[in-house]
Amino acid sequence: MKKTYVLLAMIILLTACEPSTKTGSDSKPEQSSAKSSDVESGDVSGGEDTASESGDISGGEDTASESGDEDFPSPFPEYDPESRTYKLYEAVAAGVEFPVFMQPVMEDMLPVYIGDPSNVNEYCVYANAISVGVTEVIIAEAKDDKIDEVEQAVMKRLADIKENAAFYPGEVGEAAAALAGKKGNIVYMICHIDAVKAQQILLENIPS
């Protein structure tokens, strides 16, 4: 009888333990495995946050504009090195010493120097960029029927320099030496302490 009771007790015990063992070993490891594989493959939610953290976001146009890669037109003309008037200016600049800060005159200021720009085929106008100094060179190729108009405008600029522009001793000397003239359809004005020498170089480089 005792053996029978013992066997019955063991059967009951084994029967009671079997369901809990299966539940504990089968369910939890499967969930853990699924989560681990998702994390490793990157297949998880929150994709929008990940994209924004990596910098892959919209707004490219704003970034480009903030970078400063925009083209702004220069107010200064860019002279063609092969143009007639620029070559004449280079010849003069090679023969006399000009200030370091000589630069082309801004296009919107050209009427002060040559009058109506439409009256010329081409031009080269340089002036001292700093306030101290009145060095200027005007070389304009006037249209055949506009030579007188261009000459009048250049002579007016010469008069303005001599009467109004010079204040400091060096400027007064330059203004006193300034001169203007024409050869063919080339009209010029030179305000420089060595204006006579500069004029000679200029005229030698203008074919008769």
Higher pLDDT, 131 or 94: 94
pLDDT at 131 > cutoff 50:
yes
**Rounded Cα gap, residues 139 and 91, in angstroms:** 12
pLDDT of 56-105, one tens digit each? 444 444 444 454 546 666 778 889 999 999 999 999 999 999 999 999 99
Mean pLDDT value across the chain: 78
- Out of 21-30, 39-48, 107-116, the most confident range is 107-116
Alpha helices in the chain (DSSP H): 2-41, 47-53, 60-66, 84-95, 110-114, 147-160, 169-177, 195-204
Q: What are the C-alpha distances in Å from 145 to residues 120, 142, 184?
A: 10, 8, 12
**Rounded Cα gap, residues 28 and 24, in angstroms:** 7
At how many degrees (to 10) do helices 195-204 and 169-177 cross?
A: 40
pTM over 0.75: no
